[in-house]
Amino acid sequence: MAMAADDIARMIKERFPDADIRIEDLAGDGDHYSATIVSEAFRGKSRVQQHQMVYDALKGNMGGALHALALKTTAP
């Protein structure tokens, strides 16, 4: 059970069309990623809210198919 970096980026982009997304495969195993996401949608939101928005965009894959995704979210 793993997800390709492209799939993660695509799902995030669908939800945050303006986003600047950088995804790194930390271990090279398709299972441990870090994502840096910059989107206007995050402005004025708490970090918890920002990450919840991203988890929501990933539609339940986080904690399931996607074991580890270190998130860094900011507004531009």
Task: Decide: is 71 part of the binding site for other proteins (CB under 8 A).
Answer: yes
Task: Decide: is 29 part of the binding site for other proteins (CB under 8 A).
Answer: no
Residue 20's nearest CA partner among 35, 2, 3, 1 is: 35
**Per-residue mark of binding to other proteins, 34-53 (x: CB under 8 A):** -------------xx--xx-
Q: Near other proteins by CB under 8 A, which window of 1-9, 10-18, 19-27, 67-75?
A: 67-75
CB of 73 to other proteins, least distance (A): 9
Element of type H or E holding 61: none
CA distances from 40 to 2, 13, 19, 43, 54 (A): 29, 13, 8, 6, 13
Element of type H or E holding 54: helix 47-57
What is the contact surface with other proteins in residues (CB under 8 A)?
A: 47-48, 51-52, 55, 60, 62-64, 68, 70-72
